[in-house]
Amino acid sequence: MDELSWIVPTSRVVMIVLSLAVMIRCLRSMLRERYDPEVWAYLRSGKQTLPITHWENLLGRSRSADLSLDLPGVRRTHAVLRRNDKGVWKIFDVFSRGGVLVNGTVIGKDGLRVTDGDVISLASNRLRFLDTDPAKRKRLEDARSPVGRRISPALTLLELTTFQLFLLVQHAFSAGEADLPPIALSFGLLILLEWSCYNAMRVIGRSGFEVETLAFYLSSLGFSVTASAAPQEMYKLALMTTIAVLLFLCIGGWLRNLRRSVGFLIPVALAALGLLAVNILFGRELNGAKNWVSLGAFSFQPSELVKVCYVYAGAATLDKLYRRGNLFAFIAFSALCVGALALIGDFGTALIFFVTFLVISFMRSGSIATIFLAVAGAGMASFLAVSIKPHIAQRFAVWGHVWEDRYGAGYQQTRALSAAAGGGLLGKGAGSGWLKGVFAADTDMVFAMICEELGLIIALCMMLAVLTLAFFAVRSARRGRSAYYAIASCAAMSMLLCQMALNVFGSLDLLPFTGVTFPFVSRGGSSLLSCWMLMAFIKSADNRKDGSFAVRSGEHLRTEGGSK
């Protein structure tokens, strides 16, 4: 083995290069490539023909309306024009109270169907609605630029696989003899899983694979962390990852149908509350938080699954958004979730939910005042929490002064900082650190563990991967078919961003230590499941041509009401 010792230092540099290459390719493909809008129908106003590029469209004089109509009598926000999965268009009079007519008929509370050639009157301005037939839709679809033509997803995945093989080689040098087979086999399973996933996508004609590639990149760092800190858990991790990816595919498939997705909002919300209730009743306390539930030999954290339910139930379609009652129901639901988490003692997750709540409620209402109210309320609540719970007060007290109490309250943060700095830019090699021996290194201090073993550059790439997903979610939202997908994907990403910020900055003493997990990387099955499931929301908002399995192709969508 000695004559091969040059491999580890060399592989460190190679791994950094591969990491950067994967990041750059994903960034370019997700954020720089053309992202043409989908065109579903047209609205003719006089000589002007406006393309309708979403399934949910706001009509009004406002510049931020999807169909901006500078016509006399039209309000800033006037009506909502909505298409369903089956291609049936409906118009809703949400704002004007009687100012919307279809072919001379005043529309009621539940809206009115519009078909090709119908005349829509907005405050006595006549507009003609022109739907697209299948042939036209196919032509429109063909004109859009497909994903992956410039930046081949297969090559990116190949780079990722090479990265994973180097990672495995490093572990081969540092792992114990007994631990090597499970580590090697699990890495092999991971590589098999990602290529199967990729091939499945090819079969159904989808070439957007960046979201999955980034998730697999983060997962492989998670595999490395577990291989270092708990090699006996490798098989379990490989199994959980397989289940997580299957769940990701299932939820993505489920989200293809908007009506079905939206129809289950209330059952999912109830499921979330049910899970929290089970947690409160049967939860087991571990490290100050009662967030574990055991089912025989299997134990899990219900709060992780609640995250997915919360995002699922928190988003809404455009026509629902402007109904006040709907927003209040959402606020009540959020308050119940955050309150239940505080009761459980899982303040880190409660904070993540709260930030996600802020993002969702801002996207829904656009009201900064609401946000301020919510922040003020939460501020007071957390003040109470701090004064009641001594271990939380202690975490605030030591924040910024960890070195003064390095054997007490600052124990974990000082170890994390020291190990992270000890890794330098290049790291000591996978499995060669010392932080892995410190309690919770593979969960709460995982950023420092990656810094120590793989170096600061890869650790920053790890954060960049999550940031890239967030940028992509925001970019996709602009082209979204439905507000539901746009809000859900942004909410999912804000949840992961917040979780990452608390994990990384908590362990580095830039924020109080909260003990939440780093998405995909921290060890823990429930967390892994929820992260992969949240990825399904990102995929469901990816409307690039042939981009995502969770979105039906534009040309295949039947247009029932296309011709009269």
Partner 1 sequence: MKKITNRAVSVLLLAAMIICGCLVYVIRYADHGEEWAMAFSRANSGSTGAILDRNGVVLASFNASENAFSPDTATRIANYHITGDYWGRSSTGLLTRYDAALKGYSPLTGVSVAKETVLRLNVDAELNNKAYAVLNGRKGAVLICNYRTGELLCMVSSPAVDPADPDPVPGDGAYINRCLSASFVPGSVFKLITAAAAIECIPDLDRMRFACEGSVDIAGVEIICSGTHHEQSFEQTLANSCNVAFAQLAVRLGQATMTRYVRQYGFLDGHLLSGIPTAAGSFPEEFVGDPELGWAGVGQSTDLICPYSLLRFVCAVGNDGVLIEPQLVQNAEPPRMRFMDPDTAGKLRQMMNYNVTTHYDGANRFPGLSLCAKTGTGERGDGTSNAWFTGFLLDEDHPYAFVVLIEQGGGGLQAAGSAANEILQYAVNR
The residue from 289, 321, 449, 551 that contacts partner 1 (CB under 8 A) is: 321
- Please identify, among the stretches 86-94, 175-183, 240-248, 476-484, the one whose residues bind partner 1 according to the rule CB under 8 A: 476-484
CB of 193 vs partner 1, minimal distance in Å: 28
* Residue 86 amino acid letter: K
Among 26, 38, 39, 56, binds partner 1 (CB under 8 A): 56
Minimum distance of partner 1 from residue 311's CB (angstroms): 13
Cα 557 to Cα 12: distance, rounded to the nearest angstrom: 48
Specify the pairing of strand 48-52 against strand 56-60: unpaired
- Min dist CB 92 to partner 1, Å, is 14
Nearest distance from C-beta of residue 19 to partner 1, angstroms = 16
What residues between 539 and 558 interact with partner 1 by CB under 8 A? none
Position among 252, 480, 515, 525 found at the interface with partner 1 (CB under 8 A) = 480
Among 423, 512, 547, 561, binds partner 1 (CB under 8 A): 423
Give the integer Cα–Cα distance in Å for 166 and 429: 10
Binding partner 1 by CB under 8 A: which of 463, 552, 553, 555? 463
Per CB under 8 A, 41 contacts partner 1: no
- Binder of partner 1 out of 173, 195, 362, 399 (CB under 8 A): 362
Q: How far apart are CA 525 and CA 240, in angstroms?
A: 6
**Any idea which residue has 């690039």 for tokens?**
544
Nearer to partner 1, 122 or 490 (CB): 490
- C-alpha separations of 250 from 254, 299, 537 in Å: 6, 23, 11
Judged by CB under 8 A, which of 309, 352, 358, 516 binds partner 1? 358
What's the CA gap between 453 and 427, in Å, rounded? 5
Q: Where are the alpha helices (DSSP H) in 204-264?
A: 210-229, 234-255, 258-263
DSSP category for residue 28: I
Task: Pick the closer one to partner 1 by CB: 200 or 425.
Answer: 425
Interface with partner 1 (CB under 8 A), residue from 16, 211, 258, 420: 420
Our CB check for partner 1 shows the closer of 238 and 459 to be 459
- The DSSP call for residue 545 is B
| Structure token pair of residue 412 | 């974990």
DSSP-derived 3-state class of residue 79:
strand
Helix (H) or strand (E) holding 121: strand 119-122
Report the C-alpha gap between 320 and 310 in whole angstroms: 17
d(CA 213, CA 364): 30
Residue among 18, 238, 363, 551 that touches partner 1 (CB under 8 A): 363
Among 425, 439, 556, 563, binds partner 1 (CB under 8 A): 425
Of 189 and 458, nearer to partner 1 (C-beta) is: 458
When binding is defined by CB under 8 A, the residue of 165, 399, 467, 553 that contacts partner 1 is: 467
List the one residue from 183, 493, 550, 551 that touches partner 1 (CB under 8 A).
493
Of 301, 244, 249, nearest to 275 by C-alpha is 301
Q: Which stretch binds partner 1 (CB under 8 A): 91-99, 198-206, 244-252, 426-434?
A: 426-434
Nearest 5°: phi and psi at 325?
Answer: -55, -35
Q: Is the Cβ–Cβ distance between 469 and 538 less than 8 Å?
A: yes
Interface with partner 1 in residues 395-414 (CB under 8 A): 403, 406, 414
Binding mask 64-93 for partner 1 (x = CB under 8 A): xxx----------x----------------
If you count DSSP H runs as helices and E runs as strands, how many of each does the chain have, helices first? Answer: 19, 14
| Among 338, 495, 38, CA closest to 487 | 495
> CA-to-CA distance for 239 and 248, rounded, in angstroms?
14
Gap between the Cα atoms of 148 and 162, Å rounded:
20
Q: Which residues bind partner 1 (CB under 8 A)?
A: 54, 56-58, 62, 64-66, 77, 318, 321, 355, 358-359, 362-364, 366, 403, 406, 414-415, 417-428, 432, 434, 452, 455-456, 460, 463, 467, 470-471, 473-474, 477-478, 480, 483, 486-487, 490, 493-494, 497-498, 500-501, 504-505, 508, 510-511
